[in-house]
Structure 1
């Protein structure tokens, strides 16, 4: 036995439209369109092209679109440009990654320039270390010279 007891069918039976009623509705709709087209034609006598454009627009739009003008801001329409309209000299828009990459390179160049001039913290620390190393090397060179002179003096005494 099915769930819910002896009931086997829920909902109403299907109702079909009468074909004669459908024909009558279609005729009424065509007459309404013809009447609307005749009214537009009488209001703009000089602009035959404009009236045909308006009729095409009203036929293309159906339902609520004919009453309310809706434009989707997210929809991007593809507009093809002619070769003559293209401007090859116009600056090309860069992507975010390209802009960031260029910015990174420029900042690196600026840093290296300042580093070579000795204006960065790292450059100052490097110069201080170099100065200490130079002093140590000079002291080591002096000690070597003194030791060499002492050895020469000892050898000179030993030869006498």
Structure 2
């Protein structure tokens, strides 16, 4: 007996399975599976063993098709009570053909709110510039009225200058 209060049993009585025994067990399992496949065993243990081989082996498409056709079997009481967990997302495999058509050439990609607002602002600015050039906005009307007043003042100033110039030219001739 050890002196301490607690005893540790970890190092005692270890038994290792020999490689020959492991190989024998594996062969027996293979024989059982072959027999089940030949005789069409319908019990759950055979389907679990087959699906285990498919996952570790080539991963055939039959397994993925069966997942899509049949929902997962409920564990415990959860099969009796139907509760939808909004946080649980069931991953669905998409086929490549459907994926290409869903993106589609005809559809526009979804834009974020900021991108949509930026496009709207650009459209509004272009429409305003067009209306402004045609003189349909309040600011354009005010600008045109201001320009008309300035033109009129400049014409009057030009007439006055010409009149002053003529007066100067006529003034020296009279002397």
TM-score range, shorter chain: 0.5 to 0.7
Answer yes or no: is 1:98 the counterpart of 2:115.
Answer: yes
Asked if residue 134 in structure 1 is aligned to residue 148 in structure 2, the reply is no
RMSD: 3.1
User: Are 1:68 and 2:52 an aligned pair?
Assistant: no
Distance 1:70 1:148, change over 3 A: same
Cα distance in structure 2, aligned partners of 1:152 and 1:78: 99
- 1:57 aligned to 2:73? yes
Q: TM-score, normalised by structure 1?
A: 0.54
1:1-160 matches, cutoff 5 A:
57-58=73-74, 61=75, 67-72=81-86, 81=94, 83-84=96-97, 85-86=99-100, 87-89=103-105, 90-158=107-175
**TM score, norm. by length of structure 2:** 0.50
**Structure 2 unmatched ranges of 5 or more:** 1-42, 45-65
Aligned residue pairs, count? 106
Unaligned runs of 5+ in 1: 1-36, 39-48
> Could you report, residue by residue, the CA deviation over 1:100-128 in whole angstroms, capped at 9, with x for unpaired residues?
11111111111111111111110100000
Partner of 1:8: none
